[in-house]
Structure 1
Amino acid sequence: MNIDDVLKIFIAESQELLQQMEDALLQIEQNPQDPDLINAIFRAAHTIKGSAGLFGLDTIVSFTHVAESVLDRIRSGELAFDDVLAALFLKVCDHLNGLVSHIAAGLSLDDLDTAAQEQGMSLVASLSQYFAFPLIAPSTADETDAVVAREPGEAPSEHWHLSLRFGPDVLRNGMDPLAFLRYLNTFGRIVHIVTLTEHVPAAADMDPETNYLGFELAFETTASKETIEGAFEFVREDSLIRILPPDSKTVDYIQLINELPEEDLRLGEMLVRCGTLTQAELDDALRKQAEPESPSEPIGQILINEQAVQPPVINAALQKQKQVKESRSAEGNLIRVDANKLDQLINLIGELIIAGAGTQLIAQQSGMAELVESTGVLSRLVEEVRDSALTLRMVQIGTTFNRFQRVVRDVSKEIGKDIVLEITGGETELDKTVVEKIGDPLTHLVRNSMDHGIEPAAVRLERGKPVQGTVRLNAYHESSSIVIEVSDDGGGLNRDRILRKAIERGLVNDGQNLTDKEIFNLIFEPGFSTADQVSSLSGRGVGMDVVKKNITALRGSVELDSVEGVGTTTRIRLPLTLAIIDGFLIGVGKASYVVPLDMVEECIELTSDQSSAARQSRSDYLDLRGDALPFVRLRELFAIDDEPPRRENVVVVNYAGNRAGLVVDQLMGEFQTVIKPLGKIFDNNRALGGFTILGSGSVALILSVPGMISAIAQRQPALSSAAIPTLS
């Protein structure tokens, strides 16, 4: 792994840490004393600072050091989080995000524009106000500044002892040993250092890319052992790092062990929890204990021999261990995978499905029972591989929802309203591709709920509502779709006002009979707005039409429910995945079509007499066991001129509780469908959702059930004007 690969890991992890930091900052406004949230914020800043120091990113190190110092005072109880401090650290988080993004773009931090530099200096000045003494940022001048010697006559103090043996390949891997020494000075000071040169060869035999040096140093700090060890995270595997705590800490460690809760812990777990041992040191000791050539020794004795832990601390842990039972802690393993590689895997599986369908067709045509059976087994295995691969791309929507905590906080302050965000269903999973594309539509809807939906405080009090308004984000599964709801407890939509505006704009005719839902959905028309004033958030008639367009592009639908004076709910339905689905293959004339299998309720044969009765009645409804079922003939919809068969079939589909019938010629069974997008020429055709390639090599169009149901519903025939043919 070269330095560029390591830098990419730093960028990705920093962005994740900053997102965690922002989430914790948004929560801490409601729980300012929560130690877990405070520690999470501190850990994020500390980790970013440490990692940045290894890459010589001094701008990030010095800036984060100032923020970390304030956080350290908060952790110690000298300061308390309030709204002002939380807002300041959100700006700190944004500034760090900007610096990391600058690096991700391949730019140097030395080339920051004036605005970014001034922003950093302004934030440092704001943070410095929280110190009772002048704050000195860590020195990054040159390598010699990393070592601070104690002046003669200065009172001695206890210090950590660090024994550092960097691996010979550390320079080749892009790591500079002196950078680690510089970084130590950001959270402590090096009191004394001895450079070990016994492995340095003669000048003629030296390799400029090989490291020959080791260091023994005395280090003074108030940081934990885990923090010190974290400074060497990138070279831990290739180097020998020993960290010996000050003797004066022994009593403190023993006290911490005695105060541990009565839980089942192993000796090593106790020592790690109380801070006298790091997990890496424990792992090293366990590996040595497991070596076949090593004498069988208790883990405590190995730690003493390695000088990792003082004997009194070991004895205290053994005494504590007598009070509890042994148990093992489970630890999950995560692997970071490039999203492009995952997409490539899904595409290859899609091609495998198409190829498998072709093979199965050939097997059926051959009439060889063994070959048909073999291809059937292969098809089932491919289906299992497909399902497993698709789950790899499934992510929880909660991460996306949590980002709106910041949006709600900032917008509520901007418009002067007290609004809180409530999140439910965050554990609901959907395709990563869908998650990436739903962010902008959700942002529009949340902002609209805050600006148009939630009333001013005076109006809410007058209506008997709490002053604090609520915006809710909810998600749940429905069949093979995910439903996302954005709701508010605001004033709701004014039906008459929307209808009046629509008539003025010529969107509907005066006197036209529309349902409430149809009137509410008019706000998704381009340029439609009922706002009297234009604000920085809304009122120009742009946004809601973009929301619908983006959701439709994802093969989804959007609808509105509203009660005036109570609130509004916008409901988005999206497919769980955009790549591969189970389909139901149907035929009309010589053409083939695919309907998503999860939307198919049942299939019913339509006799020639029933078909003729439907034509003669000129009705768009059939009587399905007492219920009126709207239907559409695909033969008429797609202008197929072939002679219809004597017997047709009705495929009953259901989407979002709305049922409809599709009259077709043939029912051809289930079919694994790889969805491929249609060209832009089909963008305005709501009946089609894509196409797929059959095993024979021919193309079948994929029907968009939501679009077809919507088109059927708009026809609004009069049910009383004709008899409805009955389906048996």
Structure 2
Amino acid sequence: MSINLDQAQQTFIVEAREQLQAMEESLLQLETDPGDDDAIGAIFRAAHTIKGSAGLFGLEPIVSFTHIVEDVLDRLRNGSVEVDAGLIAVLLKSSDHMLELINVAANQGGALPPPALQREVELCQILQEYQAPSPAAAPTPAQDTETREPGETRLWHLSLRFGQDVFRNGMDPLSFLRYLQTLGEIVDLTTLTDALPAADAWDAESCYLGFDIAFRSAASHGAINEVFDFVREDCEIEIVAQDDDIAPLANTGLVTTSPEPAEETTALVATGELLSDQRKTPRMPAQIATDKQAVTSDSKAKDGTYVRVNADKLDELINLVGELVIASAGASLLARTCHNDPLQEATSSVSGLVEEILDGALRLRMIPIGETFNRFRRVVRDVSQELGKDIDLIISGAETELDKTVVEKIGDPLMHLLRNAMDHGIETAEARLAAGKSVKGHLHLNAYHDSGSIVLEIADDGAGLNRDRILEKAQERGLVQPGASPTDQEIYNLIFEPGFSTAQAVTNLSGRGVGMDVVKRNITLLRGTVDLDSQPGKGTVVRIRLPLTLAIINGFLVGIGQSTYVIPLDMVQECIELSEDDGLTSREQGYLDLRGEVLPLVYLRDHFSHEGPAARRQNVVVVRYAELKAGLVVDDLLGEFQTVIKPLGKLFGALRGISGSTILGSGAVALILDVPALLTQIAQTENRYTPTQLQQANAR
């Protein structure tokens, strides 16, 4: 039998981290609304699920600590404990410690470092204060079977029939029995073998086991039942209290006992060596269609529509689809060259299918940015308390989707920008009152799509940037020459220079002159841009513009002589053919009159130093990025093209105006134009835009 327990444990670790994230979000919601019963229920379920799953894998440190947390949460759910700031704080710290324990398990065991062990001791001491017994209400008759006096044990009869797919689903039946022993004592156990097939029909990966168990425990029926939550769909379960319900079952002959001593049975369970009882035992009917189990079934059915896939497999799929796109383009080119109509029609159909496959593959990697945004609620809470400020985080555009790789890599830059805004941007309560503002500061996180890119905004309503102080510091460092008159936007962007800081004092959060340049570098590596705008006394807005995906884009092919370039299609607005007279006039003036609009022109032949004469009739591709707009003058318009982005080598890393390369259907290499960098470079060197236009563009 092949049971991949390591893979199952890795799945548990991933899901446990997700449960902790959900638990943290619910705790923050509960802090805002102490009467939110849904949040309390979500917190309890998260802790209970983690404890139960950890028990299956024998992760005792997680089980023991989470059990204490779960006990406090149960009292909170029952109304025995009131929500207050102290409780929220200790539960958040407990969540952090549970994550530490899970990380230790993820690293294949090991022990917690001494500081973490000390934190666990301190947390347990605080949690025990909330475990203090309180007068319990008298149970109703309906509750009598579920509520017993503390410490009073009962004898239970459990009949278990595991489904044949239990092993294939990564579960070990004996692990549930070992976990059951944490709630009490297995007094007697019989292995049921009546479902075993003939030898020639035996499947080594199928489970044919069943157990009859006599179990002594002070736990409630519900607690025992929850041990088997994770195999409920693959298992028939009957749990009966023997002291009052065993007689009817005994009369039917469905309950048997094993002659094996209890001590021997317990030892066999602990070692995982269970010998089958050779007697045939009739299968016990399982009555598990309770309301709770029906809800669980519905929930699992919904969860079944999702499949957890390793990200590396998705990357491999995207790469293969990219190669398929290139091969499809080559086949289409060959078909056109052969002038074979049926072949062209066939390759056209294949190209359409490839495009659909490509769109579907790219959607697999798209995830909402909201999960990343929500993680910052805890950061804002903790940092604002550390700074003694009252700061509220407002999130919008959480449903905006972008590539998973981009989401993973943008987290750290966003974290630094948020910390910087809280530390230096938003004033203290006294300063805000003196400025006529509300005591509570506000941070806005927003995401939206624009021109084929995603824009992330981090805005605060603080004091804004000190323009004069930044300029003075820049002049001291030689970043701005004496007598120069940079625009406000150019001055503000100086804070992204390495080591630049105007902070008067260094704090634990910022002020060391490191970080903002790293933020810009990390965003640039994602083929993105970052700019900011600030208004004194009103606040600062940082805008990050990122591509939706780093793998494949829709491109527009243009030709210059024998060379081919790709322009991202989302940035192309229109194409214009220049007559010879218009071409001469435009070259002399450096711009084109586009329906009354002055359109600066960029001659790519000159910009990239192509030799040879230009075409007699040239074309203009009108491109737009943020507020920057220009016309790219090229020789030929070659049409749309699915572009698989191939990174440039280190040798070409400093090549401005080029963001990557791709392979055409002919096998030739085409360079992908970096339109944002190209327009900014032309604007700065040739002064074709006014400072106002540049400021508006950079602010986007």
What TM-score range do you get, normalising by the shorter chain? 0.7 to 0.9
Equivalenced residue count is 622
Q: Which residue is 2:645 aligned to? A: 675
Q: CA deviation at 1:222?
A: 4.4
Q: 1:82–1:646: structure 2 CA closer, same or farther, 3 Å change rule?
A: same
Q: CA deviation at 1:81?
A: 2.0
Q: Deviations over 1:571-606 (max 9, x none)?
A: 111111111111000011211100001100111122
Q: 1:125–1:597: structure 2 CA closer, same or farther, 3 Å change rule?
A: same
Query: Residues 560-571 of structure 1: matches in 2 within 5 Å?
Result: 560-571=532-543
Q: CA deviation at 1:10?
A: 1.2
Query: Residues 240-255 of structure 1: matches in 2 within 5 Å?
Result: 240-244=236-240
| 1:398 pairs with 2:370 | yes
Q: Which residue is 2:123 aligned to? A: 123
Q: Which residue is 1:535 aligned to? A: 507
Q: 1:158–1:549: structure 2 CA closer, same or farther, 3 Å change rule?
A: same
Q: CA deviation at 1:616?
A: 3.4
**Cα separation, 2, equivalents of 1:411 and 1:527:** 23
Q: Which residue is 2:13 aligned to? A: 11
Q: Which residue is 1:376 aligned to? A: 348
Q: 1:155–1:414: structure 2 CA closer, same or farther, 3 Å change rule?
A: closer
Q: 1:19–1:172: structure 2 CA closer, same or farther, 3 Å change rule?
A: closer
| 1:647 pairs with 2:647 | no
Q: 1:607–1:169: structure 2 CA closer, same or farther, 3 Å change rule?
A: closer
**Cα separation, 1, equivalents of 2:449 and 2:548:** 9
| 1:624 pairs with 2:622 | no
Q: Which residue is 2:517 aligned to? A: 545
Q: 1:232–1:156: structure 2 CA closer, same or farther, 3 Å change rule?
A: closer
Q: Which residue is 2:460 aligned to? A: 488
Q: Deviations over 1:399-457 (max 9, x none)?
A: 00000011111111222211111111101111111101110110111111111110111
Letter in 2 for 1:77: G
Per mean C-alpha deviation after superposition, the further-off stretch among 590-599 and 175-184 is 175-184
Assess if the C-alpha contact under 8 Å between 2:474 and 2:480 holds in 1: yes
Q: Which residue is 2:93 aligned to? A: 91
Residue in structure 1 matching 2:190, options 189, 193, 196: 196
| 1:427 pairs with 2:399 | yes
Percent identical across equivalent pairs? 56
Q: CA deviation at 1:710?
A: 0.9
Q: Which residue is 2:269 aligned to? A: none
Q: 1:536–1:7: structure 2 CA closer, same or farther, 3 Å change rule?
A: same
Q: Which residue is 2:485 aligned to? A: 513
Letter in 2 for 1:28: L
| 1:46 pairs with 2:48 | yes
| 1:459 pairs with 2:431 | yes
**Cα separation, 1, equivalents of 2:300 and 2:73:** 31
Q: Which residue is 1:699 aligned to? A: 669
Assess if the C-alpha contact under 8 Å between 1:163 and 1:217 holds in 2: no
- Secondary structure in 2 matching 1:714: helix
**Cα separation, 1, equivalents of 2:486 and 2:151:** 87
Q: CA deviation at 1:380?
A: 1.0
Letter in 1 for 2:129: Q
Q: CA deviation at 1:484?
A: 0.6
Q: Deviations over 1:310-354 (max 9, x none)?
A: 9xx9xxx9xxxxxxxxx9998462111111111111110000000
Assess if the C-alpha contact under 8 Å between 2:416 and 2:519 holds in 1: yes
Q: CA deviation at 1:60?
A: 1.0
Per mean C-alpha deviation after superposition, the further-off stretch among 682-691 and 210-219 is 210-219
Letter in 2 for 1:98: E
**Cα separation, 2, equivalents of 1:686 and 1:515:** 23
Residue in structure 2 matching 1:503, options 475, 484, 498: 475
Q: 1:17–1:420: structure 2 CA closer, same or farther, 3 Å change rule?
A: same
**Cα separation, 2, equivalents of 1:59 and 1:474:** 40
Q: 1:599–1:130: structure 2 CA closer, same or farther, 3 Å change rule?
A: same
Q: 1:711–1:367: structure 2 CA closer, same or farther, 3 Å change rule?
A: same
Q: 1:309–1:363: structure 2 CA closer, same or farther, 3 Å change rule?
A: closer
Q: Which residue is 2:558 aligned to? A: 586
Q: Deviations over 1:363-384 (max 9, x none)?
A: 1110111111111111111111
Assess if the C-alpha contact under 8 Å between 1:160 and 1:220 holds in 2: no
Q: Which residue is 2:442 aligned to? A: 470
**Cα separation, 2, equivalents of 1:245 and 1:427:** 49
Letter in 1 for 2:189: T
Letter in 1 for 2:50: I
**Cα separation, 2, equivalents of 1:176 and 1:331:** 24
- Secondary structure in 2 matching 1:559: strand
| 1:658 pairs with 2:628 | yes
Query: Residues 148-159 of structure 1: matches in 2 within 5 Å?
Result: none
Q: 1:215–1:165: structure 2 CA closer, same or farther, 3 Å change rule?
A: farther
**Cα separation, 2, equivalents of 1:120 and 1:667:** 67
Q: 1:57–1:683: structure 2 CA closer, same or farther, 3 Å change rule?
A: same
**Cα separation, 1, equivalents of 2:583 and 2:89:** 68
Letter in 2 for 1:344: E
Q: CA deviation at 1:193?
A: 4.2
TM-score normalised according to structure 2 size: 0.82
Letter in 1 for 2:213: F
Residue in structure 1 matching 2:24, options 22, 39, 54: 22
- Secondary structure in 2 matching 1:243: strand
Letter in 1 for 2:519: V
Q: Deviations over 1:101-128 (max 9, x none)?
A: 11112224xx333233222222111211
**Cα separation, 1, equivalents of 2:162 and 2:156:** 18
Q: Which residue is 1:280 aligned to? A: none
Assess if the C-alpha contact under 8 Å between 1:244 and 1:309 holds in 2: no
Unmatched 5+ stretches in structure 1: 135-153, 250-303, 318-326, 721-728
Assess if the C-alpha contact under 8 Å between 2:154 and 2:241 holds in 1: no
Letter in 2 for 1:458: E
Letter in 2 for 1:360: S
| 1:613 pairs with 2:611 | no
Q: Which residue is 1:557 aligned to? A: 529
Q: Which residue is 1:276 aligned to? A: none
- Secondary structure in 1 matching 2:685: coil
Residue in structure 1 matching 2:68, options 66, 69, 76: 66
Q: 1:719–1:356: structure 2 CA closer, same or farther, 3 Å change rule?
A: closer
Unmatched 5+ stretches in structure 2: 135-149, 246-283, 691-700
Assess if the C-alpha contact under 8 Å between 2:425 and 2:540 holds in 1: yes
Per mean C-alpha deviation after superposition, the further-off stretch among 162-171 and 667-676 is 162-171
- Secondary structure in 2 matching 1:129: helix
- Secondary structure in 2 matching 1:29: helix
Q: 1:572–1:185: structure 2 CA closer, same or farther, 3 Å change rule?
A: same
Note the aligned Cα RMSD (angstroms).
3.4
Q: 1:173–1:697: structure 2 CA closer, same or farther, 3 Å change rule?
A: closer
**Cα separation, 2, equivalents of 1:502 and 1:96:** 46
Q: Which residue is 1:385 aligned to? A: 357
Q: Which residue is 1:215 aligned to? A: 213
- Secondary structure in 2 matching 1:660: strand
Q: CA deviation at 1:630?
A: 1.9
Q: CA deviation at 1:491?
A: 0.6
Letter in 2 for 1:3: L
